[in-house]
Amino acid sequence: MQPKDKLIIALDFSSEAEALNLAKETAPYAGVFKVGFELFISAGPSIISKLNSLGGRVFLDLKLHDIPNTVARAALSAAALKVNILNVHASGGFEMMKKAALEMKKIKNPPLLIAVTVLTSMDTKSLKKELHIGTTASVHAVQLAKLAKKAGLDGVVASGEEIIVVKKSCGPDFKVIVPGVRPSWSEKNDQKRVVTPREAVAKGADYIVVGRPVTGARDPAAAAKKILEEMK
């Protein structure tokens, strides 16, 4: 896979025009565009085909989390939109993930089905204080990754701190998508467990997700180009 195919730009906008503009500008440097709640809710499902027609692949980041039947049916609807990557929350449990994975296996050209482990905006302290989870964020993320693997998913979203241990526990083909990526020249914002693009790739990340360091840059194309160069 080329470095460009590993760079996912998070199109965190409410305006379709802004999202499409950014996608056009950064398409020479990034192979995947991530559509999250904000854009999907405001622009609607047609945004996916518009991005596909720009030649980019789409990661539909809706972090599905509900009872197994509801999630599996939503995953089928999402796959019908022709997305390349789709995700669910691993904390929705084994049965939820398994049912979605089984449905994906029945269709032609299914998207990669990925589980979100621990949000990169949460750390060990907030897990303990707010969610009463007694292990560290990294240990918890790896436990959830193993559960996702057992349920038949293709990979996980995890922080840069967990790339090596997830690959070791779940195998080299189990994909790791890493958000919370911050080049040294950008702000951390609300992300707590951050890595640089170079570190993430060196540790074995299959994809890195970058939002504000590109979307908030004065020259987004130049920022994406700089990140791609760092990844090489």
Q: Which residue among 211, 227, 228, 230 contacts ligand C5P (CB under 6 A)?
A: 211
- Cα 182 from chain centroid? 15
Number of residues in contact with ligand C5P, rule: CB under 6 A?
15
Rounded to the nearest whole angstrom, what is the least distance from the CB of residue 119 to ligand C5P in the complex?
A: 4
- Report H helices in the chain: 3-6, 16-26, 37-43, 46-53, 68-80, 94-105, 124-131, 137-150, 163-170, 197-203, 212-215, 220-231
φ, ψ of residue 174 to 5 degrees: the values are -75, 120
The yes-or-no answer on residue 63 being catalytic is yes
| Residue 156 three-state SS | strand
Q: Determine, following the binding rule CB under 6 A, whether residue 210 of this chain makes contact with ligand C5P.
A: yes
The reply to whether 189 sits near ligand C5P by the rule CB under 6 A is: yes
Kindly write out the interface string for residues 116-155 of this chain, putting x where it contacts ligand C5P by CB under 6 A and - elsewhere: x--xx-----------------------------------
Residues for the chain: how many in total? 232
Q: Which amino acid is at 156?
A: V
Q: Closest separation between CB of residue 202 and ligand C5P, Å?
A: 19
Take residue 30 and report the two structure tokens written for it: 């990034």
Residue of the chain from 19, 47, 115, 157 that contacts ligand C5P (CB under 6 A): 157
In angstroms, give the least distance from the CB of 79 to ligand C5P: 20
Q: Please tell me which residue in 63, 128, 192, 225 is annotated as part of the active site.
A: 63
